[in-house]
Amino acid sequence: MSVDLGMPGVWAPKGAAQTSGHGAHPADPLRWGPTFPEAAAEALGDRQLRRNLARATSTIRGKRAAVVGEVTDWEELRDAGRAIKTRVMAELPELLLQLEEQVTARGGTVHWARDAAEANRIVADLVKATGETEVVKVKSMATQEIGLNEALAEEGIEAVETDLAELIVQLAGDMPSHILVPAIHRSRAEIREIFLARMDDVPRELSDAPAELAEAARLHLRRTFLRAKVAISGANFAVAETGTLAVVESEGNGRMCLTLPETLITVMGIEKLVPTWRDLEVFLQLLPRSSTGERMNPYTSMWTGVTKGDGPQAFHLVLLDNGRTRALADDVGRAALHCIRCSACLNVCPVYERVGGHAYGSVYPGPIGAILTPQLTGAAGHGDPGSSLPYASTLCGACYDVCPVKIDIPALLVDLRARQVDGDRRRILPGAWDVAMRGASWAMSSAKRFAPAARSARLGRLLARDGKIRSVPFPGSLWTRSRDLPAPPEETFRDWWSRTRGDGDEA
């Protein structure tokens, strides 16, 4: 049976298997589809997608602003969060060894994986050793990043996503488009269609009321949870000092996976550490308010190794590199590794809001994805889809204002752009191009310089006809030859942003 669910055509399968979209996915979850400009142009033409995104992101922006606004020491918490992450990066080897020692002392087993293939191999072997062919999964960015579900499918192991949004994505044979809400691009009506088409146990009269859809997911997964012997999770935090792992969630599917099965396998990026138990007091305040816009998420589970008589009696922790050490060696990459995946920067990004997550061609979309993806993959050349990502931004600065660990995303993007320009400059056109782009890079690398520069660009209106500048004198002609340069608007984007939106979202 082939049901057209209106999925994007690049990689979507026809008639994906009943409870799994495997086989349908890109070979590399960090770089799939066309380049950002091509994918963005296509997404911009999808009005349903833009409506879904605009509605969802404006809801979450409002909630975040309200709950952040009531915290009197929010800036102090951000400073602490940033300082703790800086310490983590500087002391990473010692902290990882400490974590390993603590987890091992408490009855867990620690594995190390250099890359995605190695991590997938380790997990597949661990599952096979249990004799099971089905595993339940808690939503996890790390396992998305390494394409674990597809790797397990090749070994005859079915991985069932249990987070509602992940389940929607999996049933639709889709890719996630948001860090926190992977099905943010789907409206309730579309979700109803997906459930009706792909779940064998939903009532025909299912409506699109969110409560009914959630109930359908509850019933669909209940038996699976109760029979599952192996669970796979990610981790939001790991405390080096105590060996404690933490998973932050809402639905209780995380608790199910972390409590019911006999074996638990956790895959975690090596940067997810915090040094001390006390550091949790910072991140457990920053994360929920930044991500779902709640004072606290419904459930947070913490466990340390194995607890006799309570929960899984076998625990494996897989520590994943997969490009992180490459990122760590670089100023920009190291800063990006501070990210706690709250997704606040996606929700405030005017570019993300309009093009959606798929255009970024990576499981890490949005402003932070535009940095993290090329850093993890080492994307450099123009042929690599990741190389255009640093340009997927207006540098409006909203992402920096909301980032709970104060990652200066606009500055990092400008740095990445400058490197590409430097690279190109060496190959082509020294001279005037050089002067112009270095100037632009200099102006854009500082908000103070950028604002007046953008304003002065309004002089360009004098050259424009029909709102487009068709040609400008050399060296600008090198640019306008290949594209129209829109005439600078009466009001710059930055000015418009701070006038219309800056108020509510400023922390």
| CA 217, 218, 219, 220 torsion-angle sign | positive
Stretch that binds other proteins, among 317-325, 358-366, 452-460, 499-507 (CB under 8 A): 317-325
Q: Does 274 bind ligand SF4 (CB under 6 A)?
A: no
One of 14, 55, 461, 470 touching other proteins (CB under 8 A) = 55
Q: Does 19 bind other proteins (CB under 8 A)?
A: no
* Of residues 153 and 348, the one with the C-beta less far from ligand SF4: 348
The stretch among 150-158, 315-323, 462-470, 486-494 that binds other proteins (CB under 8 A) is 315-323
Q: Which two tokens stand for residue 233?
A: 């999770």
Interface with ligand SF4, residue 248, by CB under 6 A: no
Q: Using CB distances below 5 to 8 A depending on partner kind, what does residue 252 bind out of other proteins, ligand SF4, none?
A: other proteins
Q: Which of 99, 191, 370, 398 binds other proteins (CB under 8 A)?
A: 191
What's the Cα-to-Cα distance from 186 to each of 50, 191, 449, rounded to whole Å?
10, 6, 40
Closer residue to other proteins, CB minimum distance, 253 or 290? 253
Sign of CA dihedral 195, 197, 201, 202: positive
Does 402 contact ligand SF4 by CB under 6 A? yes
Query: Binds 404, which of other proteins, ligand SF4, none (CB < 5 to 8 A, cut-off by type)?
Result: ligand SF4
Letters for 108-147 (x = contact with other proteins by CB under 8 A, - = none) are: -x-xxxx---x---x---x--x------------------
- Give the tokens for residue 273: 């550490």
Give CA 319 to chain center in angstroms: 19
- Of 375, 397, 401, 402, the residue nearest 386 (C-alpha): 375
Tell me whether residue 405 or residue 416 sits nearer to ligand SF4 (CB atom). Answer: 405
377 close to 384: Cβ distance less than 8 angstroms: yes
Please identify, among the stretches 31-39, 153-161, 294-302, 470-478, the one whose residues bind other proteins according to the rule CB under 8 A. 294-302
The residue range among 15-23, 257-265, 455-463, 470-478 that interacts with other proteins, by the rule CB under 8 A, is 257-265
Write down the least CB distance from residue 305 to ligand SF4, Å: 28
Nearest-approach distance from CB 87 to other proteins, in angstroms? 6
Q: Which of residues 303-362 bind ligand SF4 (CB under 6 A)?
A: 339-345
Shortest spacing between CB 339 and other proteins, in angstroms: 11
Q: Which stretch binds ligand SF4 (CB under 6 A): 158-166, 222-230, 250-258, 398-406?
A: 398-406
Dist. CA 317–CA 308, nearest whole Å: 18
The Cα–Cα gap between 111 and 170 comes to 27
Task: Return d(Cα 423, Cα 408) in angstroms, integer.
Answer: 23
- DSSP secondary structure letters along 420-489: HHHHHHHHS--SHHHHHHHHHHHHHTSHHHHHHHHHHGGGGGGG-BTTEE---STTTHHHHTTSPEEPPP
Query: 292 by DSSP, 3-state: which?
Result: coil
Please choose which of ligand SF4, other proteins, none residue 181 contacts, taking the beta carbon within 5 to 8 angstroms, the exact cut-off set by kind: other proteins
Q: How far apart are CA 167 and CA 182, in angstroms?
A: 9
Burial class (CB in 10 A: 0-12, 13-18, 19+), 121: middle
Angstrom distance (rounded) from CA 187 to CA 179: 17
Find the binding residues for other proteins in span 217-256 (CB under 8 A). 217-218, 221-222, 225-226, 239, 242-244, 250-253, 255-256
Cβ-in-10-Å burial (0-12, 13-18, 19+) of 201 comes to exposed
Helix (H, G, I), strand (E, B) or coil at 404: coil
Residue 403 interacts with ligand SF4 (CB under 6 A): yes or no: yes
Site string for ligand SF4, 285-304 (x = CB under 6 A): -----x--------------
**Of 5, 53, 248, 405, the one binding ligand SF4 by CB under 6 A:** 405
Minimum Å gap between C-beta 92 and other proteins is 5
Round to whole Å and give the CA distance between 43 and 61.
22
Site for other proteins in 342-401 (CB under 8 A): none
Please give the order of strands across the beta sheet that includes 134-137.
108-113, 314-320, 263-269, 230-233, 134-137, 158-161
Packing angle of the helix pair 432-444, 409-427 (nearest 10 deg): 170
Whether the Cβ atoms of residue 229 and residue 197 lie closer than 8 Å to each other: no
Q: How many residues bind other proteins (CB under 8 A)?
A: 124
CB-wise, 5 or 402, nearer to ligand SF4? Answer: 402
How many residues does the structure list for the chain? Answer: 507
Choose between 33 and 450: whose C-beta lies nearer to other proteins. Answer: 450
Examine residue 386 and tell whether it contacts ligand SF4 (CB under 6 A).
Answer: no
Which among other proteins, ligand SF4, none contacts residue 163 (Cβ within 5 to 8 A by kind)?
other proteins
**Residues between 366 and 385 with contacts to ligand SF4, criterion CB under 6 A:** 368
Tell me the window of 15-23, 75-83, 455-463, 487-495 that interacts with other proteins (CB under 8 A): 75-83
Choose from ligand SF4, other proteins, none: what does 164 bind? Cβ within 5-8 Å by kind.
Answer: other proteins
Close Cβ partners of 289 (under 8 Å, ≥ 6 residues apart): 64, 67, 68, 71, 295, 404
Least Å distance between CB 345 and ligand SF4?
3
134 or 330: whose CB is closer to ligand SF4? Answer: 330
Binding residues (CB under 6 A) for ligand SF4: these are 290, 339-345, 368, 402-405, 407
